[in-house]
A = this chain, B = another copy of it.
Amino acid sequence: MKKLEICLSPELVHLYDFNNKNIVIVDIFRASSTMIVALANGVTSITPFKNLGECREMSKKGYIIAGERNGLTAEGFELGNSPLAFLEKKYATKKIAMTTTNGTVAIQLAKGKAKNILLGAFPNLKATADFLSAMSEDVIILCAGWKGKFNLEDSLYAGALTKELKGNFKIECDTAIALESLYDTHSKDIKGFLSQASHTKRLQNQNIEADIDFCLSLNIYDLVGILRENEFFGEKN
Contact = CB atoms under 8 A, between A and B. Distances in A.
A102 to B, nearest CB: 13
A178 B182 contact: yes
B174 A197 contact: yes
Specify the main secondary structure of chain A where it touches its partner: helix
Given A11-B12, A12-B12, A182-B182, A177 B152 contact: yes
A167 to B, nearest CB: 15
A193 interface: yes
- How many chain copies? 2
Contacts of A173: 198
Contact of A182 (B12, B146, B181): B181
A193 B181 contact: yes
A152 B177 CA distance: 8
A148 interface: yes
A94 interface: no
A174 B11 CA distance: 16
| A-B interface, 10 closest residue pairs, ranked by CB to CB distance from nearest | A152-B174, A150-B175, A15-B148, A151-B174, A172-B198, A185-B185, A177-B196, A174-B197, A182-B182, A174-B198
